[in-house]
Each structure stands twice: as C-alpha cells, then as structure tokens.
Amino acid sequence: MRIVIVMHGFPPEYMAGSEVYSLHLALELNKTHEVFVFHRIENPFLKEYELAKSEFQGLSKYMINIPYLPHYFEGRYINPRVERIYERFLNEIKPDIIHFGHLNYLSTNLVKISKDRGFQNIFTLHDYWLYCPRGQLINRRDESLCDDIDFESCLECLDEYLVNENNAKDKIKQRLDHIQKNVVNYVDMFISPSKFLLNKMVELGIPKEKMVYLDYGFNYEYFSDYKKKPSEKIRFGYIGRIIPTKGVHLIIDAFNRITDENTELFIYGSSSYVPYLESRSTNQNIHFKGYYNNWEIAKVLAEIDILIVPSIWFENSPLVIHEASLARIPVIATDLGGMAEYVKNNVNGLLFERNNVDDLLDKIMMFIRNPNLIDELGNNPTYVQSAEEHAKNIEEIYIKILKGVNH
C-alpha cells in the first residue's frame, strides 16, 4: 500500500506532540508499506515554495518551503500555491490512501483535491483547529474556555489577523462554512485519540458516524533500557512545549512557595517564553533543562519522580502522560479534557483545578509529605498502545475505507 501522510510539520524539523506521533506511525507503517510524508518547512535560505526531497529514518519526505507565514486570515487555511504543488506531488506518488494530520499553513483544500482525484481520506484530529482558528478553544485574552465557536470571542483572539476588518465576523463564518464543505464533507473517516476530543468535535459539526476513537501508539523500544536514576530528593518535572497555554507558569508559582530543600523541579523544553519563566522563578531548586529529543524521553523521565501536566486548555491526549505511564511515573494534571481522561485521580496520579495554583500546590505537597505515594500511584499505569499495535489498527481502518466499509 502506498500511503501519504500530510502534516503541517514533521521531525526532525518539528518535534511537538502531533509531529512526534506522526513520525512513530509513519515509521511503523513503512515497515510493510511505502510511506511518503508531505509537510511544511520554514527555511529562509531555500527558495520559497520549493518542494525539497529528503530521507529521514528510511521515510521519504517531501518538504514544501514556506519561510514567510502569511499574516492575513485566509492565508492560514487556504493557499493556492501549496495546492498546485500538492497536485504535482500526487501525480508523482499515486498513493492508495491519504492520511491527514494537520493543515495549518498548508491548505484545507488539499482534502478536496485528494477526493476529487479519487483518493480516500483519513484525518487524525490533534486539536480543535478545524473549527477554532487558534486550535485550542481558549480565549487568549482572558484565558476563558470556549465551549463552542463564539464570534465575539473569536474577534478578541484573532485581532492580529482581522485588524481593521469591517467584515471580520463574515470572514470567521466563511472559514467555518469552508471547513464543513471542503474538509468535513470530503474526509472518509476522522480518528480521535481521546473520547473528549471526539465528543467535542461532534458537538462542533463532524458527523458522529465519521468518527472513530483510537488512542496514540508509542515506541516501546525507547524504554528498553529505562532505569530510574536514584536521588535523595523528590523530583517533579515538566516535559513539553513551553507556551502560555501549557500552564508552566502555574508550576513556577507553586514551587516559589515551597521551602523544602529536598524538592526539585526540572523543566524540559525550550522557547522564547523561557527567559520570562526564569525571571519569574525565585526557588533555587527550579532547573531549566532546555531542549530534548523525543527519542531520549526515557532518559528524561529517568530523572524525575512525578510529572506535572498543568495545561489550561482542553488538551487532547498528551503524549507525555502516556510516556509517564510507560515509565511508571505518577502524573499531576489539570482536571480538564483528555488530561482528566488519561489521569485518574488517586489511581495513576492526582488532578487539580484548572488555573488554580493553590490546588496545584496542595497536590505537590501530598507527594512531599508522603513520598510512598510516588510508588503507590506510579504502579497503577494506564494501558499504553504500542506503535506496532497502533499501526495495525490504523491499517485496518485504511482497508475498511478502501473497501467502502464504515466502522
């Protein structure tokens, strides 16, 4: 089977959760099929809109160079130049099936183009971008959550793209109509890695009969030599992207109030946001560890005892929660979205109230006061699907769709 995976980014250039998952899936599928990845890069030293070819861990990658991202509203979801290049790419590859992951800064019309040429389309959802232009269903100004698409809230979030637009609401509605008509209608099956995301996307407009739940798969080999590094201190950790909606500032504020010298916090990740967080940190036991590669995740987890996932938006199915389960590490997470789905309070971790530093501090102190809780909760991991098992499940979906059979 010739499979095309379409993503807005892909390793090693991009290493966020959806990109890392897509890599794992592509590598596993590539063992028995031919996989071709079509994704965006941002290289100012290459010709704009050049389609470069490369190989990464045996995968054939086709990288469209878009170094200067459009800052007008429509440019974030429609791009005729990308569409023309994609059509030529399809002519060359002639795939059997196309698996979309994310289309931000590519073009949503790629779905319709694929369908018009007779290909079957699968779409794995990683966030809410199809309906929420920012992708996270959160108002960036006041951090309130959006239960649905509210035009007034959208205007506040999108002012940098819709500034001085008298017809801004019309543009938002046009985007929603376009997504429903040219994406949802032309996707044969949507895959959701969490039940929360599935239900939310059905509420927003995807027909339930087009949805299937299937959690992510993970490379067990990363943990083949896993061994916890001993320490006399209790080590808490944050691992992942460092952006405001991930809530890292909440951990900083909580740890600034901890005086126990036998407690440490390690923050893994890098971004322009880090210097601000460093300036906000007053506890000398807060350590910023910088960038890490996902294939080194076992080494990172070996240096912490408790993982903290404090996101303030409706996370889907955070990879790092599953990776903590593989390492038998308990998790403190926000009682929201997919986080509350995969972290069961007092089973494999503790949940705290969204955006509540006091409650987060209480949960941290429970481990400090009772270190035995680390093993008690860590030894109750949730089941984590292997990359091999996951790829087989994906392959079954492909076959059903190619045969015209719904799930």
* Fold agreement between 2-187 and 221-384: yes
Collapsing DSSP states into helix, strand and coil, what is residue 63?
A: strand
Q: Say how far apart CA 390 and CA 25 lie, in whole Å.
A: 8
pLDDT, tens digit, for every residue of 250-301? 999 999 999 999 999 999 998 899 999 999 999 999 999 998 888 899 999 9
- Identify the H or E element spanning 342: helix 337-342
What pLDDT was estimated at residue 75?
85
**Model confidence at 135: pLDDT above 70:** yes
pLDDT, tens digit, for every residue of 364-394? 999 999 999 999 999 988 899 999 999 999 9
Q: Which of 18-32, 161-175, 265-279 has the lowest mean pLDDT?
A: 161-175
Closest to 259 in 3D by CA, of 361, 373, 375, 370: 361
Of the chain, the end-to-end C-alpha distance in Å amounts to: 20
The residues, ordered by sequence, that sit 6+ positions from 81 with a Cβ below 8 Å of its Cβ are 49
pLDDT band, very low/low/confident/very high, at 35 (cuts 50, 70, 90): very high
Say if domain 221-384 classifies as CATH 3.40.50.1370. no
Pick the CATH number of 2-187 from 1.10.3470, 3.40.50, 1.20.1740, 1.10.10: 3.40.50
Alpha carbon of 60 to those of 26, 52, 249, 275, 351: distances in Å? 10, 11, 39, 37, 41
pLDDT, tens digit, for every residue of 36-74? 999 999 999 889 999 999 999 999 999 999 998 777 788
What pLDDT was estimated at residue 407?
45
Q: Say how far apart CA 100 and CA 325 lie, in whole Å.
A: 27
pLDDT, tens digit, for every residue of 312-362? 999 999 999 999 999 999 999 999 999 999 999 999 999 999 999 999 999
- What does 79-143 look like in DSSP terms, one character per residue? -HHHHHHHHHHHHHH--SEEEE---TTS-THHHHHHHHTT-EEEEE--SSTTTSTTSS-B-TTT-
DSSP letter (8 states) at residue 372: H
pLDDT, tens digit, for every residue of 193-218? 999 999 999 999 999 999 999 999 99
pLDDT, tens digit, for every residue of 145-163? 988 887 777 877 776 666 5
Q: Which residue ranges make up each domain of the chain?
A: 2-187, 221-384
